[in-house]
A = this chain, B = another copy of it.
């Protein structure tokens, strides 16, 4: 929470933090004390209902997202929900239904890579059409290490979830099937974690995506993506700030963690959300995007379990969640 509050008060122009809450109320109070004009409130529901709250940021534990997002929709207030929209597909669907019933686009999901300037340049290149249609993508998501509570399906739900969203966004299509391969396990992973994994995803038009997920590769935090099209490819650059020549090597630094790599994207994400709230026009990842990610992650988890290809089960996309240009704006009902 502290990070989000700091970003909203110090980096993002146009926003003011007026209330905070936390399951640990003392923590909420301590944060509120550091922000002029902010107060701590006892519950998320109280915060969402407060008259001077115009928009809500939900950054609590995943299983609690549904409750707060639904409350924000009911209060007809824009809500920024950190990923996942909800851990369960059914919860995502309940949010979709509520948002559609409200007739307004109120929900944005925190898929911050869409705000990264490199991914955006890649998207512009693909949309420009000079490379022809995309046929494959090769991705890698590498972390130097993960905390002790990172187990089981978290390589899918906490890590590959970013690629799930970015691939949907880059290809502008849904994912229709998934398979998960288990390479030789690294000796650095705990007993209850299969690491690395290779996640294979099928795009609706037949394109294939492979994602290496490796969260105990100690050399650094490295996010890579190359989209292979009919006429050429486009990839995230390997560029770093400076290049060192020393001791027989020419080297550049790999980011230590996601903050170093995506800090600016977090800023842009918040700024654009604040702007969209002011403008009354939702522009960011929607509930539909959150739902789709969860649905694909479910298929991946099943594939991880079964070892076989698993089709992705998804509801028909409602017109309400048509591409942004055609959608009902956030403030249309006001």
Give the B-binding residues of A (Cβ under 8 A). Answer: 9-14, 117-118, 120-122, 125, 130-133, 135-136, 138, 140, 181-188, 196, 198, 200, 203, 205-208, 210, 212, 214, 217-220, 222, 228, 230-254, 256, 264, 271
Q: Are the C-beta atoms of A184 and B207 separated by less than 8 Å?
A: yes
**A-B interface, 5 closest residue pairs, ranked by CB to CB distance from nearest:** A239-B239, A232-B246, A251-B251, A184-B206, A183-B208
- Which residue among A186, A235, A243 has the maximum number of chain B CB atoms within 10 Å of its CB? A243
Q: Are the C-beta atoms of B217 and A228 separated by less than 8 Å?
A: yes
Instruction: Give the docked Cα–Cα distance between A122 and B240 (Å).
Output: 11
Q: Are the C-beta atoms of A231 and B208 separated by less than 8 Å?
A: no
- Which residue among A184, A198, A220, A239 has the maximum number of chain B CB atoms within 10 Å of its CB? A184
User: Secondary structure of the A side of the interface?
Assistant: mixed
* Interface residue from B219, B236, B243, B245 paired with A247 (Cβ < 8 Å): B219
Q: Are the C-beta atoms of B200 and A181 separated by less than 8 Å?
A: yes
Instruction: Give the docked Cα–Cα distance between A206 and B184 (Å).
Output: 4
> Chain B residues with Cβ under 8 A from A234's Cβ?
242-245
Q: Are the C-beta atoms of A233 and B219 separated by less than 8 Å?
A: yes
18 CB < 8 A contacts A-B: A121-B241, A125-B242, A133-B187, A135-B185, A136-B212, A181-B200, A182-B208, A183-B206, A185-B206, A198-B210, A214-B228, A217-B228, A217-B232, A218-B232, A219-B232, A236-B242, A245-B254, A249-B254
